[in-house]
Structure 1
């Protein structure tokens, strides 16, 4: 994939953000494919690790900003790979909780190293202060957009 900076600079800011997001995801997917992980699988594992074990399926779907049926397919695949297990919630038998298995935790350790490297490679040549400023700007933009949606 060739990147033409002149073409990129002619895109609107929204298009630039989408392109950066898309190619970042593609780079991460390429790096994680040898581990047997697709984008939905590795993002579910990553989010589950961040949320902690015994997370409700609905809560995980919400955190991933996806519909529950999509997550259910992904969780079934992760169960087949023995990376997660699901069990009923003690307080609500209709609800199911998701936990990482030991294999899942070990894979996450490998995955994390690769994700950190992808991030490092993508941010190569960008000062830490500039990356932090970009993060703050993106946070402000997201907040502004969410405010517009709630009005």
Structure 2
């Protein structure tokens, strides 16, 4: 009976010693396994891929980059409206767009200086767009955009703005 107690005591002593010995052996001066690197966040943005364009001559093909931007917008619905309003006091926080954001691949933004904007400036609204997209959680969301012009002339340059830029 004492032999079994002695064997159990030796095993109980050996288990922690082997754990300490194993732990000490994996930590060297050159490389420490316990150090971690910060996780990289996946960002929706511009991705670069490559395309091979072959040629009729052998070994004359070229590889060129393809640029595309991921868009969360999956649907845009337009409606005709006709009203006058003014720019909101927080209009500078928004942007002027050539198209509804997410509706076109290459959408241009403009400076508010281009239309000589100021709080209370009268604008004419002729279209409303509701852009549907999926947020980061995968839930369906929507945003309203309005097409504005600063002149009463119907042929004046039009810009798309977020609903927060104008007083409804």
The TM-score bracket by the shorter chain reads: under 0.3
Q: TM-score normalized by structure 1? A: 0.19
Larger radius of gyration: 2
Q: TM-score normalized by structure 2? A: 0.18
Higher helix proportion (structure 1 or 2) = 1
Higher strand proportion (structure 1 or 2) = 2
